[in-house]
């Protein structure tokens, strides 16, 4: 049930993102290839942004799941605040239109977060199931960065123009839905060993 809701949310948000992209670029995607690239961008970006938003919420709430994982890896629990606080703004930066330099920082932060998590699990001697997830999110982050539309890139920045309210509304609504979904799907108890 939860997986079906998550898939439906990703499909709805991808559609919203693709259509919001039409309003932020000087020339909206033209042709089948451009639409496919834009859709691929959103399909890769949304899971990264959702994981950042959910992970930030879980860290700040200090749920048992993340406390057990952090303790297993040998990190102090206060690290949850250090990692949790910037994750939610990272999700916003990845989804918001424009601000290409901020996006570069968000992509770098997400990549370092996931690569560090994968390395931590690998170095703690965990089996592949523990470190492969963060490694996949690292790859999603790099692919999202590579596929982002021109208006979201640092090079070739389009001249500033007035943004339509729908572009900002879609971004804020996406992160709000992610946070609500993350809150209602909090893992119970310790993670499986």
The DSSP-derived string for 39-108 is: HHHHHHHHHHHHHHHHHHHHHHHT-HHHHHHHHHHT--TTHHHHHHHHHHHHHHHHHSSS-HHHHHHHHH
* pLDDT for the residue numbered 160: 56
Only one residue has tokens 């959702």, namely 50
Q: Rounded distance, CA 89 to CA 87, Å?
A: 6
Q: Which two tokens stand for residue 85?
A: 């606080």
Contacts of 14 (CB under 8 A, 6+ apart): 39, 42, 43, 46
pLDDT in tens, the chain (193 residues): 777 887 887 778 878 777 777 666 555 667 788 888 888 999 999 999 999 999 999 999 999 999 999 999 999 999 999 999 999 999 999 998 888 899 999 999 999 999 999 999 999 999 988 999 999 999 999 999 999 887 788 865 555 566 677 778 888 889 999 999 999 999 888 887 7
Supply φ then ψ for residue 153, to 5 degrees: -100, 150
* pLDDT for the residue numbered 29: 62
* pLDDT for the residue numbered 97: 84
DSSP 3-state of 190? coil
* pLDDT for the residue numbered 25: 57
Q: Rounded distance, CA 9 to CA 184, Å?
A: 14
* pLDDT for the residue numbered 161: 62
Tell me, yes or no, if the pTM score tops 0.85. Answer: no
């Amino acid at each position: 049930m939860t997986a079906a809701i998550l898939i439906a949310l990703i499909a709805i948000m991808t559609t919203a993102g693709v259509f919001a992209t039409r309003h932020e670029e000087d020339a909206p995607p033209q042709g089948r290839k451009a639409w496919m690239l834009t859709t691929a961008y959103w399909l890769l970006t949304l899971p990264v942004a959702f994981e950042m938003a959910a992970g930030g919420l879980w860290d700040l709430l200090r749920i048992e799941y993340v406390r057990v994982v952090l303790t297993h890896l040998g990190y102090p629990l206060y690290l949850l605040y250090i990692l949790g606080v910037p994750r939610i703004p990272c999700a916003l930066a990845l989804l918001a239109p424009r601000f290409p330099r901020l996006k570069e920082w968000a992509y770098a932060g997400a990549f370092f977060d996931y690569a560090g998590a994968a390395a931590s699990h690998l170095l703690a001697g965990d089996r592949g199931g523990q470190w492969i997830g963060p490694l996949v999110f690292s790859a999603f982050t790099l692919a999202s960065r590579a596929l982002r539309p021109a208006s979201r890139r640092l090079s070739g920045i389009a001249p500033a123009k007035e943004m339509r309210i729908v572009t900002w509304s879609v971004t804020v609504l996406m992160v709000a839905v992610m946070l609500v979904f993350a809150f209602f799907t909090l893992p119970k108890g310790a993670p499986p060993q």
